[in-house]
Structure formats: C-alpha cells, structure tokens
Amino acid sequence: MKLQTIKVEEAVGKVLSHDITQIVKGEAKGALFKKGHIIRPEDVPELLRLGKENIYILDLDHGDVHEDEAGVRLGEAVTGEWVTWSGPKESRVNMHAACDGLLKINIPALEAINELPDVILSTLPNNTVVKEGELLAGTKVIPLVVPETTVTAAEDICRQAGGWVIKVLPFKELKVGAVITGSEVYKKRIRDGFGPVITEKVEAFGSEILGIDFAPDNAEIIAAKINKMASEGADIIFVTGGMSVDPDDVTPNAIRLAGARVEKYGAAALPGAMFMLAYLGDVPIMGVPACGMFFKITVVDLILPRLLAGERVTRRDIVALACGGLCRACPECRYPNCTFGKGSH
Ligand SMILES: Nc1nc2c(c(=O)[nH]1)N[C@H]1C(S)=C(S)[C@@H](COP(=O)(O)OP(=O)(O)OC[C@H]3O[C@@H](n4cnc5c(N)ncnc54)[C@H](O)[C@@H]3O)O[C@H]1N2
Ligand code: MOO
C-alpha cells in the first residue's frame, strides 16, 4: 500500500487516504469525505467545488483488500441459513435474523476467525432465542486495508465449518403433550398449576398442546400415559412433578419404565437441578421438577426452545449449561437479558 497524489478527475474508484473537511468561516464542519472512502464519479464536482484539485489516495498493492470489501466478504462467508447481512459501514457488516428462531454459533469457527490478525466477529450467545430482524452479530477488519490472505483464511474457516458460523434454526410447529403427576392433583385435592405454565411456554413458540393428562404417583400408570401420549403423535412430552427424593417421587423411574433412554438426570441449572431429559425413540421426554412451576424461568426455558427448533439435545448439552446455569433470582426478572443460560458453549 502506497500513498499517492492524484488529480481529482483521475481519482474515481480510488481510496481516499485522509478525511476531507469543509471549513466554513474558519470552522471545521465535520468530514465530508472520510478516510477510506472510495471516490465516486459524483464526488468529483463536489471535491473541485471545495477547491481540491489534487488529493491523496491510497494505492492498493496487489494482495491488499480495502476494509469495505473485506467486511462484505466476511459477512458473506459467516452467514448461514436464515441470516441476512447489511453494510458495510466503515467495514462493519451486521448480521440479522431472517425469522424467529434459535441462534446457532459455530464456536470453534468463531474463535478461529478471531485468531486471525486484524479481523473481529462478535455475536450474541449461542442458543439465544431471537426474533426476526434482531441484530445477531457484527464483523469488521481493524486497519483500512488487510492482506488478501487474511480474508481468504477467514473464508476457508467458514467453508470448512460447513458454510456458516452464524445461522438461525426456525421454530417448528410441534405437538407437545404433558403428563402431570401427583396424587394430590390427580385426586383434585389441589388445583393443577403446571398445565397453564407449560401451555404458555409452548404456545409462545408457535407450537401446540396435543393434550394434558393426569396421573397419580404410580410409575406403571405414568409410564402407560407417556406411551399413550407418544402413540397419539406427541413430538415432545413433558412429565411433571415427582422428580426428587420422596418415596412417592416415581417420575424418573416411570420415564425409564416407559422405555425411554435417559440422556441425563440432574441438570447443571438452578432452578432445574432435578430435571431429566430422556428419549423415547426420537421423542424427547422432559421430566420437570416442581420448580418448573414455582419459578418463572427455569431449565425448561433453556431446553424447550432447542427441542422446538428440532435439535437433538444431548447429555453434553446439559453438562454445558453449568457455566451460566445459575439464575441470579433478581427481584425483577429480566430474562432473557441476563446471564442465565449464557455460558461459554
Ligand atoms: N430432601 C430433598 N428434598 C428436595 C430436594 C432434594 O434434593 N432433597 N430437591 C428439591 C428440588 S431442587 C425440587 S425442584 C423439588 C422437586 O420437586 P418434585 O418434582 O419432586 O415435586 P413434588 O414433590 O411432586 O411437588 C412439590 C410440591 O409442588 C406441588 N405440585 C407438584 N405438581 C403440582 C401441580 N401440577 N400443580 C400444583 N402443585 C403441584 C406438590 O403438591 C408439592 O407441594 O424438590 C425439592 N425437595
Ligand atoms: O430441581 Mo430444583 O430445580 O433445583 O429447583
């Protein structure tokens, strides 16, 4: 990259090396043209009017990429499905959600890009629930020009990552069933508080409740009701209550008895420690402890969106909740704008 003086008429397509400021009555009025601006044909009369016959331009060497082109190429490379980008503005390109869904970040690829010299890519946390149009990420280069090799290295990282670093999984329209356990609820000694909570959480994502069934504290009966729910076509099944250590807490055993394979019992989230995730074939079964009803935001709010986006949630995913899995129990809940569930994974 070299600095050159050039006649304004010959400067179209060249990169301005410095800000050009208009001075009115001895006072600077801000930059009319910014350093790094690529001169357009319509800029020529304006520059002449300002009394500029010659200007400094940057002469890009073969192998230099201007910041704006670098920003655009980075934006193109990192965006996957259901993500759009806009810009560049001073090389910054912003990524936005093209639909409501679950944000997925390929963290190894994200970190590999940030290991490159003079490039940054910054995102919302992985697995954030996002709304259409929401800002998800921004990328830019640091100097005015970067070597072509830096940009191609970033593009290679994205290609090897499967063509995306940032994507959104749209929520599916699924049928969700719930088996509410507890003899006191079954015998109508107390009114069910779980059904309304689950219904509200599921419907907020555009899915529907297939049915809500009730069972006493009896593992065989609960297991039969789980199987009935699955045979009726439930895509996801909640089983609530009876998840802890009392003698009549039989739900974990009932889930096993139904034939489901336990992915993890015990979740690294508070509230939600006694949570269980199991799979009956491909149908996720969520064993939800009573805290899922007593607290506004729990482990359910971290796992349910992922299941509704069609993800297969694993034991590893539940282990990975640990860092950030502690709710601060703020007097006024600000979730999702808080640290709950925003760990390093
Ligand atoms: N000794 C220990 N006690 C508890 C532990 C523990 O580790 N050791 N864990 C605590 C944690 S953490 C949680 S969370 C709860 C889990 O409770 P369960 O899922 O076993 O809930 P239940 O015992 O069935 O019920 C607790 C409470 O909530 C009422 N309930 C349950 N379901 C409904 C419903 N559908 N509608 C209305 N009310 C409901 C139930 O009647 C009980 O009063 O365990 C801690 N204890
Ligand atoms: O399972 Mo309990 O969730 O820690 O509140």
Q: Do residues 128 and 103 touch, judged by C-beta distance below 8 A? A: yes
**How high is the pLDDT of residue 345?**
64
3-class DSSP assignment, residue 114: helix
Burial class for 298, CB neighbours closer than 10 Å (0-12, 13-18, 19+): buried
Do you find a cis peptide bond into 331, omega within 30 degrees of 0? no
The C-alpha atoms of residue 308 and residue 326 are separated, in whole angstroms, by 23
DSSP string, 222-275: HHHHHHHHHHTT-SEEEEES--SSSTT--HHHHHHHTTPEEEEES-S-BS-TT-
**How high is the pLDDT of residue 11?**
87
Q: Do residues 225 and 180 touch, judged by C-beta distance below 8 A? A: no
Ligand 2 atom having least distance to the Cα of 294 = 5
DSSP string, 153-200: HHHHHHHHTTS-SEEEEEPP--EEEEEEE-HHHHTTSS---HHHHHHH
273 CA from centroid of ligand 2 (Å): 4
Output the pTM of the full model. Answer: 0.89
Q: Does 270 sit in the ligand 2 pocket, CB within 6 Å?
A: yes
**How high is the pLDDT of residue 268?**
95
The C-alpha atoms of residue 29 and residue 38 are separated, in whole angstroms, by 21
Nearby residues of 250 by Cβ (< 8 Å), 6 or more positions away = 181, 217, 218, 219, 222, 242
252, two tokens: 């974990």
- Ligand lying closest to the C-alpha of residue 267: 2
Which residue's CA lies nearest to atom 5 of ligand 1?
A: 244
Which residue's CA lies nearest to atom 4 of ligand 2?
A: 273
128 CA from centroid of ligand 1 (Å): 28
271 CA from centroid of ligand 1 (Å): 12
**How high is the pLDDT of residue 1?**
65
Ligand 2 atom having least distance to the Cα of 299 = 3
**How high is the pLDDT of residue 206?**
96
Per-residue pLDDT of the chain (345 residues; tens, 9 = 90+): 667 788 989 889 888 877 787 676 667 667 778 777 888 999 899 888 888 888 888 777 778 888 889 999 999 999 999 999 998 888 899 999 999 999 999 999 999 999 999 999 999 999 999 999 999 999 999 988 899 999 999 999 999 999 999 999 999 999 999 999 999 999 999 999 999 999 999 999 999 999 999 999 999 999 999 999 999 999 999 999 999 988 778 999 999 999 999 999 999 999 999 999 999 999 999 999 999 999 999 999 999 999 999 999 999 999 999 999 999 999 999 999 999 999 866
Ligand 1 atom having least distance to the Cα of 289 = 19
Residue to mutate, 239, 251, 270, ligand 2, most ligand atoms under 8 Å from C-beta: 270
> ipTM score of the complex?
0.95
Ligand 2 atom having least distance to the Cα of 267 = 1
Residue to mutate, 179, 214, 244, 276, ligand 1, most ligand atoms under 8 Å from C-beta: 244
**How high is the pLDDT of residue 26?**
67
**How high is the pLDDT of residue 24?**
66
Domains of the chain: 2-59 (3.90.105.10), 64-170 (3.90.1170.30), 175-319 (3.40.980.10)
Count CB-CB contacts under 10 A for residue 35: 15
Residue to mutate, 191, 265, 274, ligand 1, most ligand atoms under 8 Å from C-beta: 274
3-class DSSP assignment, residue 80: coil
330, two tokens: 């703020």
The C-alpha atoms of residue 78 and residue 159 are separated, in whole angstroms, by 9
Count CB-CB contacts under 10 A for residue 315: 12
